[in-house]
Amino acid sequence: MIEVKMTKYVLFLTEQEINGLLAQNPALWEAAIQRGKAIKRHEQAKQRNSIKEVIEPNGDNKAK
């Protein structure tokens, strides 16, 4: 079950139900896929930056 929180409701849908709804609107399907890709890329970049900051706290990567 996938929980969808809305202003006045909480919906619980199965993956099959969501696939059926998205199949009726291919433009929404494409928009959701692109949004998911963008969010994943942003999360990965943020994680890489946080790891980089731990390794190089001052942003100075030159050896002294």
**pLDDT score of 13:** 96
Tens-digit pLDDT profile for residues 13-53: 999 999 999 999 999 999 999 999 999 999 999 998 888 77
Tell me: pLDDT of 64 over 60: no
Residue type, position 26, single letter = P
Q: What are the residues facing 4 on neighbouring strands?
A: 11
Q: DSSP letter string over 23-62?
A: HT-HHHHHHHHHHHHHHHHHHHHHHHHHHHHHHSTTS---
C-alpha to C-alpha distance for 42 and 36, rounded to whole angstroms: 10
**pLDDT score of 18:** 94
CA angle 13, 22, 4 (to 5 degrees): 30
**Quick one: pLDDT band at residue 60, thresholds 50, 70, 90?**
low
Tell me: pLDDT of 58 over 60: yes
Give me the residue spans of the domains in the chain. 2-55
